[in-house]
Amino acid sequence: MADTIHTVSFDVRDYECDLQGIVNNANYQHYFEHARHLFLRSQGVEFADLAARGANLVVIRVEIDYLFPLRSMDTFNVASTLDRVSRVRIACRQSITRADGRAIANAVVVIATMDASGRPCRLPAEVEAILTRLAP
Protein backbone atom coordinates (compact mmCIF):
# COMPACT_ATOMS: atom_id res chain seq x y z
CA MET A 1 0.00 0.00 0.00
CA ALA A 2 1.14 3.52 -0.74
CA ASP A 3 2.00 5.77 2.22
CA THR A 4 -0.91 5.88 4.60
CA ILE A 5 -2.08 9.40 5.14
CA HIS A 6 -5.14 8.90 7.33
CA THR A 7 -5.95 6.46 10.13
CA VAL A 8 -9.04 6.18 12.28
CA SER A 9 -9.91 3.76 15.09
CA PHE A 10 -13.21 1.87 15.53
CA ASP A 11 -14.71 -0.69 17.92
CA VAL A 12 -16.77 -3.61 16.67
CA ARG A 13 -20.40 -3.15 17.68
CA ASP A 14 -22.24 -6.37 18.54
CA TYR A 15 -25.04 -5.73 16.00
CA GLU A 16 -22.40 -5.81 13.24
CA CYS A 17 -21.70 -9.49 13.96
CA ASP A 18 -23.75 -12.22 12.33
CA LEU A 19 -24.78 -15.83 12.92
CA GLN A 20 -21.18 -17.03 12.65
CA GLY A 21 -20.13 -14.77 15.52
CA ILE A 22 -17.99 -12.59 13.26
CA VAL A 23 -18.49 -9.18 11.65
CA ASN A 24 -20.67 -9.61 8.55
CA ASN A 25 -18.76 -9.09 5.28
CA ALA A 26 -20.92 -6.15 4.18
CA ASN A 27 -20.07 -4.17 7.31
CA TYR A 28 -16.46 -3.86 6.19
CA GLN A 29 -17.76 -1.65 3.37
CA HIS A 30 -19.41 0.51 6.03
CA TYR A 31 -16.12 0.81 7.92
CA PHE A 32 -14.22 1.63 4.73
CA GLU A 33 -16.86 4.17 3.64
CA HIS A 34 -16.93 5.99 6.97
CA ALA A 35 -13.10 6.07 7.15
CA ARG A 36 -12.99 7.39 3.55
CA HIS A 37 -15.44 10.18 4.30
CA LEU A 38 -13.43 11.18 7.41
CA PHE A 39 -10.21 11.02 5.37
CA LEU A 40 -11.57 13.23 2.57
CA ARG A 41 -13.06 15.65 5.10
CA SER A 42 -9.68 15.89 6.84
CA GLN A 43 -8.27 16.94 3.45
CA GLY A 44 -10.91 19.60 2.91
CA VAL A 45 -13.18 17.64 0.57
CA GLU A 46 -16.90 17.74 1.45
CA PHE A 47 -19.31 15.52 -0.46
CA ALA A 48 -22.23 17.87 0.07
CA ASP A 49 -20.32 20.85 -1.32
CA LEU A 50 -19.12 18.90 -4.34
CA ALA A 51 -22.61 17.59 -5.06
CA ALA A 52 -24.05 21.11 -4.79
CA ARG A 53 -21.58 22.12 -7.51
CA GLY A 54 -22.63 19.18 -9.68
CA ALA A 55 -19.61 16.94 -9.11
CA ASN A 56 -20.52 13.68 -7.41
CA LEU A 57 -17.89 11.24 -6.17
CA VAL A 58 -19.26 7.81 -7.12
CA VAL A 59 -17.85 4.39 -6.21
CA ILE A 60 -17.60 2.33 -9.41
CA ARG A 61 -15.60 -0.67 -8.20
CA VAL A 62 -14.73 -2.28 -4.87
CA GLU A 63 -12.22 -5.09 -4.23
CA ILE A 64 -11.90 -6.44 -0.70
CA ASP A 65 -9.58 -9.20 0.52
CA TYR A 66 -10.76 -10.69 3.80
CA LEU A 67 -7.70 -11.99 5.67
CA PHE A 68 -9.01 -12.64 9.18
CA PRO A 69 -12.39 -11.99 10.78
CA LEU A 70 -13.20 -9.29 13.32
CA ARG A 71 -15.20 -10.33 16.40
CA SER A 72 -17.20 -8.74 19.20
CA MET A 73 -15.08 -6.42 21.38
CA ASP A 74 -12.26 -6.08 18.80
CA THR A 75 -10.76 -2.62 18.31
CA PHE A 76 -9.21 -1.87 14.92
CA ASN A 77 -7.72 0.85 12.71
CA VAL A 78 -8.67 1.77 9.16
CA ALA A 79 -5.83 3.32 7.16
CA SER A 80 -6.50 5.12 3.86
CA THR A 81 -4.56 6.71 1.05
CA LEU A 82 -5.33 7.95 -2.46
CA ASP A 83 -3.88 7.38 -5.95
CA ARG A 84 -4.73 8.76 -9.36
CA VAL A 85 -6.04 6.15 -11.80
CA SER A 86 -6.85 8.42 -14.75
CA ARG A 87 -8.00 11.98 -15.43
CA VAL A 88 -11.47 11.13 -14.13
CA ARG A 89 -10.77 8.33 -11.64
CA ILE A 90 -9.05 7.89 -8.31
CA ALA A 91 -8.39 4.80 -6.20
CA CYS A 92 -8.68 4.85 -2.43
CA ARG A 93 -6.48 2.09 -0.96
CA GLN A 94 -7.57 1.08 2.52
CA SER A 95 -6.63 -1.53 5.09
CA ILE A 96 -7.99 -2.72 8.42
CA THR A 97 -5.60 -3.80 11.16
CA ARG A 98 -6.67 -5.10 14.56
CA ALA A 99 -5.31 -3.20 17.57
CA ASP A 100 -2.74 -5.97 18.22
CA GLY A 101 -1.35 -5.62 14.69
CA ARG A 102 -3.15 -8.52 13.01
CA ALA A 103 -3.96 -7.77 9.35
CA ILE A 104 -7.73 -8.06 8.83
CA ALA A 105 -8.68 -6.79 5.35
CA ASN A 106 -7.44 -4.78 2.38
CA ALA A 107 -9.54 -2.82 -0.09
CA VAL A 108 -9.21 -0.89 -3.32
CA VAL A 109 -12.13 1.45 -3.99
CA VAL A 110 -12.25 3.07 -7.43
CA ILE A 111 -14.11 6.38 -7.52
CA ALA A 112 -15.18 8.48 -10.50
CA THR A 113 -16.47 12.04 -10.63
CA MET A 114 -19.80 12.38 -12.38
CA ASP A 115 -21.85 15.44 -13.15
CA ALA A 116 -25.51 15.79 -12.24
CA SER A 117 -26.59 13.84 -15.33
CA GLY A 118 -24.33 10.89 -14.46
CA ARG A 119 -21.63 11.58 -17.07
CA PRO A 120 -17.95 11.32 -16.07
CA CYS A 121 -16.34 14.70 -15.50
CA ARG A 122 -12.89 15.96 -14.44
CA LEU A 123 -11.78 15.58 -10.85
CA PRO A 124 -12.66 18.60 -8.73
CA ALA A 125 -9.80 20.94 -7.74
CA GLU A 126 -9.88 19.85 -4.06
CA VAL A 127 -9.28 16.24 -5.08
CA GLU A 128 -6.49 17.24 -7.50
CA ALA A 129 -4.94 19.16 -4.61
CA ILE A 130 -4.87 16.04 -2.40
CA LEU A 131 -3.21 14.02 -5.16
CA THR A 132 -0.59 16.71 -5.62
CA ARG A 133 0.14 16.81 -1.90
CA LEU A 134 0.54 13.04 -1.84
CA ALA A 135 2.68 12.62 -4.97
CA PRO A 136 4.06 16.04 -5.82
Residues that bind a copy of itself (CB under 8 A): 13-15, 17-21, 24-27, 29-30, 33-34, 37, 47-48, 51, 56, 58-67, 72
For 87-98, b/e burial (b = at least 16 CB within 10 A) is eebbbbbbbbbb
Of 46 and 122, the one with the shorter C-beta distance to a copy of itself is: 46
Please provide the DSSP assignment of 18-54 as one string. Answer: -TTSBB-HHHHHHHHHHHHHHHHHHTT--HHHHHHTT
CB of 135 to a copy of itself, least distance (A): 26
Cβ nearer to a copy of itself, comparing 3 with 52 = 52
Question: Least distance (Å) from a copy of itself to the CB of residue 57?
Answer: 10
Smallest separation (angstroms) from a copy of itself to the CB of 87: 20
Of 64 and 134, nearer to a copy of itself (C-beta) is 64
What distance in Å separates the CA atoms of residue 47 and residue 96, rounded to the nearest whole number? 23
- Residue number, 89 or 134, with CB nearest to a copy of itself: 89
Helices and strands per DSSP (H, E), number in the chain: 3, 5
